[in-house]
Structure 1
Amino acid sequence: MNIMSSEHRAKKLINAPEDIISEAIAGMVGAHPDMLRLEGNTGRAVVALDGPRDGKVGVVVGGGSGHEPAFAGYVGRGLADAAAVGNVFASPSPEQILDATRAVDGGAGVVYLYGNYTGDVMNFDMAAEEAATLGIECRSVAVADDIASAPKGREGERRGIAGDFFVFKIAGAAAEAGRDLAGVEAAAQHALASTRSMGVALTPCSMPQTGKPNFEIGDDEMEIGMGLHGEPGMRRGDMASADEVVDELMAPILDEMAFRPGDEVAVLVNGLGATGLLELYILHRRVAAILAEKGVKIHYSWVGEYATSLEMAGASITLMKLDTDLRKLLDMPCRTPALTVGTLQDAPRQARSTVSARPVAETAREESRSRELATDGPITPALFRTMMVAAGERISTEADRLSALDGVIGDGDHGVTMDIGWKAVRDALAQSPEDETIETSCKRMAKAFLDAVGASSGPLYATAFLRAGTAVKDRLNLDAASMAAWIEAACEGVRERGRAAPGDKTMVDAWVPAVEEARGAVTGGADVLGCLDAACEGAERGMNATRDIESKRGRSSKLGARSVGHIDPGAASTVVILTAMRDTAREALA
């Protein structure tokens, strides 16, 4: 895949790009005041009016925006109790998920449902850890229904696409029926095990912040197995007829599901954002014919847009193989903006304990210490903060380039996401008192980045900042050795949270050689600028090496050999950050 050289920008009916999520949520809640409300301090928890109640397992779904009506469209009685809404193609942050969790907690536990993507897994895991400290037990089911993204036998590595629709419906019905936490989790897992999907893309989509297509595809081409975020699929092929496309999508689904005559299924023919019902019904016609040939009965079909990818043209086919329990749960009534099944009885008016939202965390404060902090070293707290601000400004300048790199092997949002996170860091540091230590500034940065971003970058950089700050907690100023220690701890934070290793084609491939070179320079007697020079050289070498690596982690891991030849965007942003830090320190200390 090639980055588009065209300057064409997609037309979108938006106002300021930074306001699109809050304005969309306001519009959605305003359009459905009989079903939805907004709760919590983050403004990202959309909650069902008549869903949460005492004694009932809470169901929280979530993921990035851009997939509407998923995820908030499935909030309502009989389905999800709340949705945590992330930025476009980016996971919600732990604090946003916690707002949803607190809103639905009825004392029986909470089930988290989300697509199997690195950012979602990390953010929901962090939210579950925090919820446990509040006395709320959470279970997670990561939906992984996309056959194209991993082979049979490695189902746990698959990404989630439109199969969310069925898993959410089954889990919501199980909770509404009064099943306990283990029972709701088991129902969701059973639905997932019975669901398979395949998709095809005909055109790219474009991020609202850039307006640029995030990949290039010829007018006579299609992408088989395209991911829901615009990730490349299994193969690029010539455009084919509707029946030929359905035959290709259905073949692996039928192979895995091993239907027998008399089996029963639910069918979802899903549009990706720019494919009309005329075409989708033509696809469904062929799906039905193939199933009829095999003696498989369709219990119910849904045809339309249920899990989109902004304005991408294309479609996905999802089948859920039914048994008695799944059929019963599928048929149970629900009422949400995007899905209504049957007729609900009057909502039970049970008393529900008031769940007090945890106040927004106070700005990080200076911890009193009885020990003296080391003052040797030229990197003062004020200069450190200036270096961090400069890193954020450099990320903003490079955001389009980073997103373009990501569009080749990912979903095209890396630069946008990093810019959002670093802007939050810059704003947070502007509130720092003059006497704030580097450790406390790092805590401030971690909270700001995590609250603003979510996605995979949020947990990774938040953990990096926290570990780096802890590594220099005995320092007021940084010398060469402590600067190297800061870089090394940041690297370890990224590796710890992301569970990535060198050679996986991630930002770790830039951080690890940065640490090695920085440590080597300090051992050789380099000063702090020499340490930073070495770190930048190592990071750039590592970044360039990712071009020849096959991706093994994150969304691009689904590409296999197709990821070779492209620089990892996370490694590229690491170089941007370290280079900005070095340049700023050099200017200040010259």
Structure 2
Amino acid sequence: MTDIRTKKLINAPEDLIAEAIEGMVAAHPDMLVVEGATGRAVVAVDGPREGKVGIVIGGGSGHEPAFAGYVGRGLADAAAVGNVFASPSPEQIMDAARAVEGGAGVMFLYGNYTGDVMNFDMAAEECTAAGIPARSVQVTDDVASAPAERAGERRGIAGDFFVFKVAGAAAEQGRDLDGCEAAARAANANTRSMGVALSACSMPQTGKPNFEIGHDEMEIGMGLHGEPGMRRGKLEPADAVTDELLAPVIADLGLAAGDEVAVLVNGLGATGQLELYIIHRRVAQTLKSLGVAIHHSWVGEYATSLEMAGASVTLMKLDADLKALLDTPCRTPALTVGNVLPPAAGRRVRRAAGNAQAKAVVDRSTLKTEGEVTPAIFRAMMRKAGDAIAENRDWLSELDGVIGDGDHGITMDIGWTAVRKALDAAPGDETVSETSDRMAKAFLDAVGASSGPLYASAFRSAGAAVSDRLNLDAGALVAWVAGMCDGILARGGAAVGDKTMIDAWVPALEAARAALAGGGDLRACLAAAAEGARKGRDHTATIESRRGRSAKLGARSIGHVDPGAASAHVLLAAIRDAV
């Protein structure tokens, strides 16, 4: 990748989200407040109340004004704010849920991305365990990301705008949880989008474009995180580009004379109003020629991708109910509809966080002591793994920029930085199993991307696999690796051949088991695991992606190593070298 550096007006990258939230709340103190220990739940001052369904939206940062910009009276009651291009963690989502739950249940709304699905699912599970009814609606408006017969696989892009608005209005009207969910699903079923990118964006941590595109090229169907689209070609005039974006949207919605729609022409971060209005001109001309009426249009930046140049076109086909919900008044930092709302009826809800479960007491006298890997050595091995991720952060992100959103190395580094801090705080007598649980919590709290719940589940499962051990011998360490595999498989659902981290972890486990069966010692088993992961990593370059964001690429993903498989090899190689 060409060594081009970008400029951003930020302080320390690790403080980026906290400082942005602080600035946003300071700008809108009449509308927004931060609640919860994580500092990532932005809550409406005049929204949550007793007897009302709580609307929680969320996703990664970098899409401003989405998501926190849509928090306010009549729209979302709270937003869970993730790291750049990464889902919020379950605990961040739960901070938002606890802040808005008023006895009528909570509805989660978010774009259909692997990390968001896993993290919001885990939050929904926690809500259920706490006796809070919870529903989830995933936005799937991007026609470029999957064909109509697989519409459930489509990703959510600027269509979030309409689905959030309808759901918030339904809750504001006093509809129950079933009614709010039905309204949100109707909005999603009638909303379609397609986008085009003209330039790359750059992650704040790297200052490098997360993909390459020629000065005279465009990417049709580009995802909101910089994921490659349907095709790349030479830049064309605005009318031709708009026609290409609009045609599949109109066809997918089945629009015909007499229909009525709402229109969103959305800038991706570096496209001015001048160009967006030219796009809207063509949209209006085309719809008029079809006999389709425009009820209302929004033109501007509503769901961006950092500083990416480009735009998307979204249409929502309206019926009487969707039209009324769209027109229901709301007031948020990014969107105001209708007149000033009357004071909210019902008292403001402030739920206290539930107490953490008591930690189980381990009887160390019953634990097996065979093996040279003591708990202290195990923690040193894990620190080395974290160091290796930090050293390879930019390389892993570059791999991800080719077939994903360019943040895998950054996300893994955030998680492992949190793990290393947690290891420093671990008591000296903590067992390997307890340390693994500590790592799981640290990683999950720090990382909301798909790697967060996947590695948290892996650490927990691995810890459980050696819960009868004080020290680890070769067999126990192989069992720990097996637990890592089991946790990832159970949470993510991927299989070997899907082009994911599993394509490195499973060969690593198979090689380690073979070495153990052949009489190999601890070092031989770890060396085999690292070599198995390397082979699995390299194999991913020969196969087509079937899971995650890169699955939308089809054959275009062949020839590129999966970044999750690459990071798995980095970890196992570092663990091998540490011993």
TM (normalized to structure 1)? 0.97
Could you say which residue in structure 1 is the equivalent of 2:335? 339
Deviations 1:57-111 (A, max 9, x none): 0000000000000000000000000000000000000000000000000000000
SS at 1:252 equivalent: helix
Aligned length: 579
CA distance in 1, matches of 2:511, 2:26: 55
Q: Give the C-alpha shift of residue 344 in structure 1.
A: 2.9
1:167 correspondence with 2:134: no
Deviations 1:191-250 (A, max 9, x none): 000000000000000000101001100111100000000000000011000000001011
Q: Give the C-alpha shift of residue 256 in structure 1.
A: 1.1
Equivalent in 561, 576, 583 of residue 577 of structure 2: 583
CA distance in 1, matches of 2:364, 2:267: 62
1:54 correspondence with 2:50: yes
CA distance in 1, matches of 2:534, 2:426: 31
CA distance in 2, matches of 1:126, 1:365: 20
CA distance in 1, matches of 2:215, 2:520: 55
SS at 1:197 equivalent: strand
1:22-171 paired onto structure 2 within 5 Å: 22-171=18-167
SS at 1:60 equivalent: strand
CA contact (8 A) 1:47 1:81 kept: yes
SS at 1:154 equivalent: helix
One-letter amino acid of the structure 2 residue matched with residue 186 of structure 1? A
Could you say which residue in structure 1 is the equivalent of 2:463? 469
CA contact (8 A) 2:33 2:42 kept: yes
One-letter amino acid of the structure 2 residue matched with residue 388 of structure 1? M
Q: Give the C-alpha shift of residue 354 in structure 1.
A: 3.8
Aligned-pair Cα RMSD in Å: 1.0
1:460 correspondence with 2:466: no
Could you say which residue in structure 2 is the equivalent of 1:549? 543
Could you say which residue in structure 2 is the equivalent of 1:390? 384
CA contact (8 A) 1:146 1:158 kept: yes
Deviations 1:322-356 (A, max 9, x none): 00000000000000000000013322242245411
One-letter amino acid of the structure 2 residue matched with residue 507 of structure 1? M
Structure 2: gaps of 5 or more residues: none
Structure 1: gaps of 5 or more residues: 586-590
Deviations 1:569-589 (A, max 9, x none): 00000000001111011xxxx
Equivalent in 410, 427, 432 of residue 438 of structure 1: 432
SS at 2:22 equivalent: helix
SS at 1:153 equivalent: helix
CA distance in 1, matches of 2:364, 2:417: 34
Could you say which residue in structure 2 is the equivalent of 1:519? 513
Could you say which residue in structure 1 is the equivalent of 2:4? 8
Deviations 1:377-407 (A, max 9, x none): 0111000000001100110000000000000
Which stretch has the larger CA shift, 336-345 or 65-74? 336-345
CA distance in 2, matches of 1:96, 1:475: 33
CA distance in 2, matches of 1:371, 1:322: 68
SS at 1:8 equivalent: coil
CA contact (8 A) 2:364 2:470 kept: no
1:202-217 paired onto structure 2 within 5 Å: 202-217=198-213
Could you say which residue in structure 1 is the equivalent of 2:442? 448
One-letter amino acid of the structure 1 residue matched with residue 458 of structure 2? A
Could you say which residue in structure 1 is the equivalent of 2:178? 182
CA contact (8 A) 2:55 2:106 kept: yes
CA contact (8 A) 2:158 2:312 kept: yes
SS at 1:172 equivalent: helix
CA contact (8 A) 1:366 1:437 kept: no
Could you say which residue in structure 2 is the equivalent of 1:528? 522
Could you say which residue in structure 1 is the equivalent of 2:534? 540
Deviations 1:251-284 (A, max 9, x none): 1111111112111000000000000000000000
Could you say which residue in structure 2 is the equivalent of 1:412? 406
Could you say which residue in structure 1 is the equivalent of 2:291? 295
CA distance in 1, matches of 2:345, 2:301: 33
Could you say which residue in structure 1 is the equivalent of 2:308? 312
CA distance in 2, matches of 1:53, 1:547: 52
CA distance in 2, matches of 1:243, 1:47: 40
CA distance in 2, matches of 1:307, 1:205: 14
Could you say which residue in structure 2 is the equivalent of 1:259? 255
CA distance in 2, matches of 1:445, 1:567: 27
One-letter amino acid of the structure 2 residue matched with residue 65 of structure 1? S
Could you say which residue in structure 1 is the equivalent of 2:557? 563
One-letter amino acid of the structure 1 residue matched with residue 504 of structure 2? A
CA distance in 1, matches of 2:562, 2:49: 45
Cα distance 1:550–1:309, how it changes in 2: closer, same or farther (>3 A)?
same
SS at 2:148 equivalent: coil
One-letter amino acid of the structure 2 residue matched with residue 562 of structure 1? R
Could you say which residue in structure 2 is the equivalent of 1:588? none
CA contact (8 A) 1:516 1:538 kept: yes
SS at 1:112 equivalent: strand
Which stretch has the larger CA shift, 525-534 or 349-358? 349-358
CA distance in 1, matches of 2:252, 2:5: 40
CA distance in 2, matches of 1:581, 1:344: 60
CA distance in 2, matches of 1:268, 1:442: 47
Equivalent in 237, 250, 257 of residue 241 of structure 1: 237
CA distance in 1, matches of 2:180, 2:470: 51
CA contact (8 A) 2:48 2:349 kept: no
CA contact (8 A) 1:366 1:436 kept: no
CA distance in 1, matches of 2:258, 2:67: 33
Q: Give the C-alpha shift of residue 520 in structure 1.
A: 0.6
Q: Give the C-alpha shift of residue 133 in structure 1.
A: 1.5
Could you say which residue in structure 1 is the equivalent of 2:346? 350
CA contact (8 A) 2:496 2:506 kept: yes
Could you say which residue in structure 2 is the equivalent of 1:273? 269
CA distance in 1, matches of 2:545, 2:25: 40
TM (normalized to structure 2)? 0.99
